[in-house]
Chains A and B, each alone.
Chain A
Amino acid sequence: MLEELSARQLRDKIVRGEVKSLEATESVFERIEQRDPVVGAYICICKDEALDKAAAVDRRIAAGEQVGALAGVPIAIKDNFCTTFRETTCASKILENFKAPYNAGVVERLEAADAVIVGKCNMDEFAMGSSCENSALKQTVNPWDTSRVPGGSSGGSAAAVAARMCYASLGSDTGGSIRLPACFCGVVGMKPTYGRVSRYGLVAYGSSLDQIGPFATTIEDAALLMNVIAGHDPRDSTSVSEDLAPVADCLADLEKPVEGLKIGVAREFFDVEGLHRDVEQAIRAALKVYEGQGATLVDVSLPHMKYAIAAYYLIATAEASSNLARYDGVHYGHRTANPKDYIDVYNASRAEGFGPEVKRRIMLGTYALSAGYYDAYYLKALKVRNLIRQDFIKAFEQVDCLICPTSPEPAFRIGAKMDDPLTMYLSDIYTIACNLAGIPGLSIPCGFSSDELPVGLQILSGTFTEAKLLRIARIFEKETNYHNQKPKFIETKG
């Protein structure tokens, strides 16, 4: 019974005293013990701290105290959020034993909302990947088909929610790292506007692109998490002040449909090589659902979308090569055992500590920024980024949102793309432009392929319109039942 509840429903029952947080949290750990040996979503679990926190929330409720918006609800976080209570590994050998001296801003916010943090989830190393296979620590599988990837980079956070090993989770999204695994795992995942959520204590990958966001089983839960994590943090200078962009209450009008909803559909969305027939059918059917609810479909054009992956892999890797320069074997992280000299402390520690994809991206980014290539690659990519952003600005003058697939295909098989980095990069074809343009985007389950794998619908909207974006998604969720489907694996595992 507890397993069927959404985060919001569980929170309400806990607050009313109908369910103890301790009971809910213990049942989550039972499910983790049963299911995670197969799924592999968690890098670590925080059982003692979680049970203590749950019991404390129960005591406060019994004493009639006010409790927070996530009171007693078991939540998971991606292992690139700094925490004082457990290592922050980024699924990398170089940070395997790193214990942060402070908590990330979002971790503080979860704790202030009385959430119960149950564990930290697997990911592609340093959030670089689309399948979670680049983790140096473990393999996470897709709960819908354990021979397939959960998507990446926040694959553990998505799989943990899909396998009901937490009620919701947080991940980070630099080029699709929330939306793609949400799509592959059949859950809701949302990347907010760049600057809406504090990145303080989020281990940096591509600093002009990274953004933290929620995974949930329902749109309402995603809205609930947004309410908890959104807002200004002076410790992140890219977190936007609330004078400039007031934080909307995402729950307040969630049930209110958007009047005269106009949905932009770009011809470029269906002109993507490798677009799976089942995905296209599911998206077209979803558009029909919206039309049935009175929405108007508008043809729009995003002529520069097809350049997004090329621009992204120059910009993100350039930023990564700079951000990851801090792993020097001196201040924290892995240090080589027998350096030849002080330079070798850097060279060997980094060679031993980083996995192949991280090295590849550092190399590509270093090349794009190096003398003689800066203008041709990095600067060119920043200009194309501007063109991509202008496409979106123009589109949102005409429409409330854009709708397209989250991924051209459902979850692929483990190992299928590991030998060819470029093919892996192309998995992000639908998600990546959103990060370059800084706009919010969301993936919601919208059907299944013929082999019973979830298909995700991606909805993109204008800067700082998260509340509207969630309302638009809610229209679809109300009319469909895909979000209530669960992986068969869970049913058989009990």
Chain B
Amino acid sequence: MSAKLTEDQVRHVARLARLNCTDEEIALFTSQLRAILDYVAQLEELDTTDVEPLAHCLPVHNVFRADEVRESLSNDQALANAPQRDGEYFAVPKVLGDTSA
């Protein structure tokens, strides 16, 4: 399926996954993911040209419900687990106006 996975690729994947990784973790994940990808490469043996992908096994496609107003979580319930909160809002570090971001 591909050439051997490199540490740079693994660093890129860690960025996509929003995961800080130490150099040791990158080295370890690279070797472990290589072994797993070598194993999954056996799928290449199968000719799947005319096979439809199967995302799930349910005999249903779309599920609709009536567009009715229903009870939902209160602000307080929704914010109860927030690591940081500012009144009715989730609080995060400044996003805009910071040149480094």
Contacts and interface: CB of A to CB of B under 8 A. Distances in A.
Interface of A: 97-99, 101-102, 194-195, 208, 234, 237-238, 240-241, 244, 304, 306-307, 309-311, 313-314, 321, 325, 328-335, 339, 341-348, 350-351, 354, 359-360, 362-364, 366-367, 370, 373, 376-377, 379-387, 389, 421-422, 425, 437-439, 463
B57 A339 contact: no
A102 B58 CA distance: 26
Contacts of A240: 58-60
A341 B98 CA distance: 9
B53 A386 contact: yes
Contact of A385 (B9, B54, B78, B98): B54
Contacts of A244: 59-60
Nearest to A341: B101
Contacts of A339: 93
Interface residues of B, number: 54
A342 B54 contact: no
B96 to A, nearest CB: 10
A345 B92 contact: yes
Given A330-B83, A373-B2, A310 B43 contact: yes
B4 to A, nearest CB: 13
A478 B35 CA distance: 45
Given A195-B58, A330-B92, A363-B29, A381 B43 contact: yes
Nearest to B73: A101
> Which applies to chain A's interface (DSSP): helix, strand, loop or mixed?
helix
Contacts of B53: 379, 382-383, 385-386
Nearest to B81: A332
A241 B19 CA distance: 39
Contact of A384 (B46, B82, B83, B101): B46
A363 B48 contact: no
Contacts of B83: 329-330, 332-335
B58 A321 contact: no
A98 B54 contact: no
Contacts of A310: 39-40, 42-43
30 contacts: A101-B77, A101-B78, A238-B58, A238-B60, A307-B43, A309-B39, A313-B36, A313-B40, A331-B90, A341-B100, A348-B20, A350-B18, A350-B19, A363-B10, A363-B14, A363-B19, A363-B33, A364-B36, A366-B16, A366-B17, A376-B1, A380-B43, A382-B54, A382-B55, A383-B51, A383-B53, A387-B48, A389-B57, A422-B35, A422-B39
Contacts of B17: 321, 350, 362-363, 366
Interface in B72-101: 73, 77-78, 80-84, 90, 92-95, 98, 100-101
A69 B30 CA distance: 51
Contacts of A387: 46, 48, 51
A288 B56 CA distance: 36
Contacts of B65: 234
A433 B59 CA distance: 18
Contacts of A334: 83
Contacts of A332: 81-83
Interface of B: 1-2, 5, 9-10, 13-14, 16-21, 25, 29, 32-33, 35-36, 39-40, 42-44, 46, 48, 51-60, 63, 65, 73, 77-78, 80-84, 90, 92-95, 98, 100-101
Given A350-B20, A463-B57, 19 more contacts: A99-B80, A99-B81, A195-B58, A208-B56, A311-B40, A328-B18, A343-B101, A346-B18, A351-B20, A359-B19, A366-B13, A370-B13, A373-B1, A380-B44, A382-B53, A382-B54, A383-B52, A421-B32, A421-B35
Contacts of A363: 10, 13-14, 17, 19, 29, 33
A328 B19 CA distance: 10
Contact of A98 (B21, B81, B95): B81
Contacts of A437: 57
Contacts of A389: 54, 57
B57 to A, nearest CB: 3
Given A363-B29, A377-B1, A384 B43 contact: yes
A306 B58 CA distance: 23
Contacts of A366: 13, 16-17
B22 to A, nearest CB: 9
Nearest to B36: A422
Closest 9 CB pairs of A and B: A438-B57, A332-B81, A335-B83, A382-B53, A386-B54, A351-B20, A383-B48, A208-B56, A310-B40
A354 B20 CA distance: 11
Contacts of A321: 17
Contact of A380 (B18, B35, B48): B48
B37 to A, nearest CB: 8
Contacts of A341: 93, 98, 100-101
Contacts of B29: 359-360, 363
Contact of B19 (A195, A362, A376): A362
B26 to A, nearest CB: 10
A97 B100 CA distance: 32
B11 to A, nearest CB: 10
